[in-house]
Amino acid sequence: MSSTPIAALDEVVAPRAVPQHGFRSVVQSVGSKSAILALQAATGILTARTLGPAGRGELAAMILWPLFIASVTTLGVPSSLIYHLRNRAGERDRLVANGLAMSAVMGVVAAVAAAGILPWWLHRYSPEVIRAAQLFLITVPLCSVTLAGRAVLEASHDFAASNAIQILTPLVTLVGLVLFFAMHHMTAYAAAVAYIAASIPSFFYMVSRVMRTGIRAARPALTGVKQILQYGIRSYGIDILGTLALQVDQVLVVSLLSASAMGSYVVVLSLSRMLNVFQTSVVMVLFPKAAGHDAERVLAMTGNSVRISGMVTAVCGAMVCIAGPTLLRVLYGTEYAAAAGALRILVLEAILAGVTFVLAQAFMALNRPGVVTLLQATGLSLSIPMMLLLIPRYGIYGAAISLLASTCARLLFVYAGFRIFLKVEAPRILPGRSDILTLMNASSALVRERAR
């Protein structure tokens, strides 16, 4: 057996002897994302129980937009910054200045455009909810710049700072919600303020950490903008597709169904999305680590990452499916227990979506972002017409089935793309005995190191 997969895994997922930086980064990211999920669960439980399905739906209609709009209008700047900073370290100051400036401008333009669209899209909601959603768009530029700033930190291997930024947002949100609850002023509008205002301290913390990386002030230049966009436009589809894969269902449900149905859907969706913690943690480390390596090393790193992260996620998903109705009834309230069937569908979708996301990083690291963008777009394009057809007929179950069908198509297309476009065998995605042993060895080695 070749030693290449194990050597690659030493850098990203699991060492066999002494834990390396890659595995520590993944474990640290898993811990951070687990903390994020715990905080998000706390905020979700608090709002679901105090507001009810209808109030929870109104809250989602107000707070859905800033991060969603910022994510779909990046023009690929975050991915481009990671790629170029890893390959052009000598141009770091100019790249960062241009990337942050571009993100700020795009955030402002996107916020203005969205303000005109929301009244039409949220026609099922009251004028007060629509006005609040428009007002909260003021934070779109902050979210856009924060996404670019996190990319700078991750390219510098400062994953701790990137994780801290993500933890700070739900932490501040939870503090705000508890304060409103203590003052007996927990309404959908008050809760929305707590969610939206949390992006402000995260932004300032990001700025302080980027400045600590030693990056000096530089003036944005058109040549730098062109350089970022050359890679960014090709990877932009990944940003859009990744965001749409996670949120297009909510965007359509909020427009097609009642606030009460939206509230139930948001609850089961958030519970299923907790399963992505390990895979998103691996991706956060995999792309910056793999960028710049040859194809053999990238494929080995990707294969080990997808098998181990998928194995852990599948085990956790089975547990959620078994305990789903009880979890919904005990944590969120009896009003949400009827959506347990949709939860099981979304759990399966979350597992397969994570596998697809990890596999896509090989194309990104090998400078073929346009290929995987096309493959992902073909699969995701199935979900929107299916949702438009199934959501009005079957409600939240129609949304869940549409997401699952789209994710299955995207996984098949991306897997086939290895042979068609990269001219290599796709990594094996089903875990074997060696993967289990590798994970156990890496975990025990990390525990021993921590103990020392």
Residues in the chain: 452
User: What is the pTM for the complete model shown?
Assistant: 0.76
Question: Which residues of the chain fall below pLDDT 50?
Answer: 1-20
**DSSP states of 407-432 as a string?**
HHHHHHHHHHHHHHHS-SPPPP-S--
| pLDDT at site 20 | 47
Amino acid 118 reads L
Between CA 287 and CA 118 the distance in angstroms is 35
Q: Output the CA torsion 433→437→440→442 (10° steps).
A: -130
| Spatial CA neighbour of 154 closest among 32, 242, 39 | 32
Between CA 65 and CA 47 the distance in angstroms is 18
- Chain centre to alpha carbon of residue 139: 19
| pLDDT at site 194 | 96
pLDDT digits (tens, 9 = 90+) for 262-272: 999 999 998 99
pLDDT digits (tens, 9 = 90+) for 341-392: 999 999 999 999 889 888 888 887 787 777 777 766 777 788 889 999 999 9
| pLDDT at site 13 | 46
| pLDDT at site 17 | 38
Q: Which helix (H) or strand (E) holds 381?
A: none
Between CA 109 and CA 115 the distance in angstroms is 10
| CA dist 12 → 21, 289, 360 (Å) | 8, 7, 16
Tokens of 282: 């691996």
Angle (nearest 5°) at CA 283 between 280 and 289: 150
Residues sharing a CB contact under 8 Å with residue 417, sequence separation 6 or more, in sequence order: 363, 371, 372, 375
Sign of CA dihedral 31, 33, 36, 41: negative
Amino acid 42 reads A
Between CA 317 and CA 324 the distance in angstroms is 10
Between CA 175 and CA 414 the distance in angstroms is 41
| pLDDT at site 228 | 84
| pLDDT at site 198 | 94
